[in-house]
């Protein structure tokens, strides 16, 4: 429990024990140390984040300047042609997959990035007997007596009733 220093109010007598004005003055050294430690650690973290931010900005700016200097020699038409060819190659780019299987994918598959993404999806959705049983049970619990798509079935029933009423 923190220690309090009692200060007498100006309008009351010092001897009146109930009417002292209580002010919280942290006289406990442990509380001061904890607060000081929190302040110092937060300042150190702030300095580290600022340094990391500055270093990343310098690194990114250097890379941007290097890349922009390489493209300064080309004229505008070549730049536009490069952009269009790069856009066409993006879906077929082997850079999406690991470099070890790039040659194999280029020889045996027409769209290596699509194959690689499919393999990732298969890995994430890997099925075993337990997951197959659970999904089959969920599908079996769905009532398909009225038709696979309930909205279409209901719409057709209303349409047939309206036609019968008109005839």
Give the pLDDT band (50/70/90) at residue 87: low
The model carries a pTM of 0.23
Q: What is the pLDDT of residues 61-75, one digit of tens each?
A: 555 555 555 554 444
Q: Give me 18's structure tokens.
A: 């109930």
- The number of angstroms, rounded, from the C-alpha of 60 to the middle of its chain's C-alpha atoms is 22
Question: What confidence score (pLDDT) does residue 107 get?
Answer: 74
How many angstroms separate the CA atoms of 167 and 164, rounded?
5
DSSP letter string over 22-69?
EE-----HHHHHHHHHHHHHHHHHHHHHHHHHHHHHHHHHHHHHHHHH
Tell me the domain boundaries of the chain: 1-73
DSSP letter string over 78-119?
HHHHHHHHHHHHGGG-GGGS-GGGHHHHHHH-S-HHHHHHHH
Q: What is the pLDDT of residues 1-45, one digit of tens each?
A: 445 555 554 544 455 555 555 555 555 666 777 777 888 888 888
- Region 129-147: mean pLDDT is 71
């Amino acid at each position: 429990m923190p220690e309090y220093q009692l200060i007498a109010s100006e309008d009351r007598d010092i001897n009146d024990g109930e009417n002292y004005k209580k002010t919280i003055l942290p006289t406990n050294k442990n509380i001061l140390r904890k607060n000081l430690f929190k302040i110092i650690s937060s300042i150190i973290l702030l300095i580290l984040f600022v340094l990391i931010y500055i270093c990343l900005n310098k690194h990114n700016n250097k890379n941007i300047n290097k890349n922009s200097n390489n493209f300064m020699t080309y004229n505008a038409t070549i730049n536009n042609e490069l952009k269009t060819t790069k856009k066409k190659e993006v879906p077929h780019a082997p850079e999406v997959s690991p470099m070890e299987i790039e040659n194999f994918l280029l020889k045996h598959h027409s769209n290596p990035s699509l194959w690689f993404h499919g393999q990732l999806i298969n890995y994430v959705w890997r099925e075993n007997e337990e997951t197959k049983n659970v999904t089959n049970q969920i599908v079996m619990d769905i009532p398909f007596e009225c038709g696979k798509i309930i909205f279409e079935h209901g719409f057709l029933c209303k349409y047939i009733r309206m036609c019968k009423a008109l005839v």
